[in-house]
């Protein structure tokens, strides 16, 4: 299998490292910045291309687009024209322009398109979905999800990259949209959306750093989502309230806590020795 990674920044290098662990995989790299491309090609022993057309002429089976969101759609359409399957880092795009054409290109060409919302594959969230699918908390009435991180703690160059730039698709609504995606996965399609972004910019970016989102789903359930790139300590998780109980997940845990209204007890599903562990509910 031959795979091409477009964009050799932080996330592109992470994908390269993961792909190289797959036996029998040939990994190619493209970046418009020659110095960065040379450094990555040397570090990982790859063939690097500054010319995207030359890279696509190598006929990769799949291509990973790991560039700023504002460039995703035009690059993705070039990939589909070359006949490759497509992985696009989230978000799919920084706006609606060109998205319908991109999806039609994929359908007509029989190509797969996957957006990098990898939390759907996290063991903890998959257990949470199983709890919902099994009806353990009944009809879901409401949910609360949160993601809070002080981005400069792990990306000191924050102000110099797309995450801090509106024109490149930065900001919490787009770059930190995992919560919006997994809530749709858990609760279905959204009927109405409301959002407000803080007027404060503690990190000095020109885009949203703190935001609150409200969702109403087709089922009638509602959800509130908090997103920020300024918080300490790191915090991520969700709570879903249903007719027969509540389920809570906290990242990075592989299990979830489930409260049974009937039994008035908490249960631990997965992530612990012996599977499910019950304890008295807090008073």
- What DSSP string runs through 112-141? -EEE--GGGG-HHHHHHHHHHHTTTT-SEE
- Alpha-carbon distance 183 to 121, whole Å? 13
CB 60 within 8 A of CB 2: yes
Nearest to 239 by CA among 135, 150, 131, 133: 131
Q: Is residue 198 over pLDDT 80?
A: yes
pLDDT band at 164; cut points 50, 70, 90: confident
Distances in Å between the Cα of 99 and the Cα atoms of 64, 95, 103 are 17, 8, 6
Average pLDDT over residues 35-64: 97
Q: What does DSSP assign to residue 22?
A: S
Structural domains in the chain? Answer: 2-116 (3.40.50.720), 119-244 (3.30.360.10)
- Of 93-102, 134-143, 154-163, 211-220, the least confident: 154-163
Compute the Cα dihedral for 283, 259, 127, 15 and give only its sign. negative
Helices (H), the chain: 10-19, 34-44, 52-56, 72-81, 99-109, 123-133, 172-175, 178-187
* pLDDT at position 83: 97
- Alpha-carbon distance 262 to 142, whole Å? 19
Beta bridge partners of 258: 247, 267
* pLDDT at position 158: 86
* pLDDT at position 182: 98
pLDDT band at 159; cut points 50, 70, 90: confident
Average pLDDT over residues 79-85: 97
The CA-CA-CA angle for residues 146, 256, 190, to 5°, reads 45
* pLDDT at position 279: 42
Mean pLDDT computed over every residue of the chain: 94
Average pLDDT over residues 9-27: 96
- Alpha-carbon distance 231 to 70, whole Å? 26
- Alpha-carbon distance 93 to 77, whole Å? 12
Token pair in block for residue 251: 């990242």
Q: Is residue 278 over pLDDT 70?
A: no
- Alpha-carbon distance 212 to 196, whole Å? 6
Compute the Cα dihedral for 241, 242, 246, 250 and give only its sign. negative
Average pLDDT over residues 102-114: 97
* pLDDT at position 272: 56
Dihedral (Cα; 114, 216, 163, 239), 10-degree rounding: -90
Query: What count of other Cβ atoms lies within 10 Å of the Cβ of residue 62?
Result: 19
CB 229 within 8 A of CB 203: yes
Token pair in block for residue 174: 């787009």
Q: What is the largest CA-CA distance in the chain?
A: 65
Please state whether the peptide bond connecting residue 54 to the residue before it is cis, i.e. omega within 30 degrees of 0. Answer: no
Q: Is 262 helix (H, G, I), strand (E, B) or coil?
A: coil
Number of H helices, E strands in the chain: 8, 15
The reported pTM is 0.91
Query: What count of other Cβ atoms lies within 10 Å of the Cβ of residue 277?
Result: 14
* pLDDT at position 67: 97
């Amino acid at each position: 299998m031959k795979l091409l990674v477009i964009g050799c920044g932080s996330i592109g290098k992470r994908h390269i490292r993961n792909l190289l662990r797959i036996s029998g995989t040939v990994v190619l790299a493209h970046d418009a910045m020659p110095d960065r491309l040379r450094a990555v090609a040397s570090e990982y022993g790859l063939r690097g291309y500054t010319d995207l057309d030359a890279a696509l002429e190598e006929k990769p089976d799949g291509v990973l687009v790991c560039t700023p969101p504002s460039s995703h759609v035009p690059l993705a359409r070039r990939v589909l024209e070359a006949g490759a399957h497509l992985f696009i880092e989230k978000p799919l795009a920084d706006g609606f322009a060109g998205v319908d054409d991109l999806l039609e290109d994929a359908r007509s060409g029989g190509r797969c398109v996957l957006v990098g919302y990898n939390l759907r594959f996290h063991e903890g969230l998959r257990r949470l979905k199983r709890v919902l699918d099994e009806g353990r908390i009944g009809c879901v009435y409401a949910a609360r999800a949160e993601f809070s991180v002080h981005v400069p703690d792990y990306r000191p160059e924050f102000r110099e990259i797309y995450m801090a730039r509106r024109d490149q698709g930065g900001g919490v609504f787009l770059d930190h949209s995992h919560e919006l995606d997994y809530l749709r996965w858990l609760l279905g399609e959204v009927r109405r959306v409301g959002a407000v972004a803080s007027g404060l910019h503690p990190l000095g970016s020109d885009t949203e750093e703190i935001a609150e989102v409200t969702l109403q789903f087709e089922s009638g359930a509602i959800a509130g989502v908090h997103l920020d790139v300024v918080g300490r300590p790191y915090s991520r998780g969700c709570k879903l309230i249903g007719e027969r109980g509540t389920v809570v997940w906290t990242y990075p845990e592989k299990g979830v806590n489930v409260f049974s209204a009937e039994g008035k007890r908490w249960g631990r599903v997965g992530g612990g020795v012996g599977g499910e562990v019950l304890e008295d509910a807090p008073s």
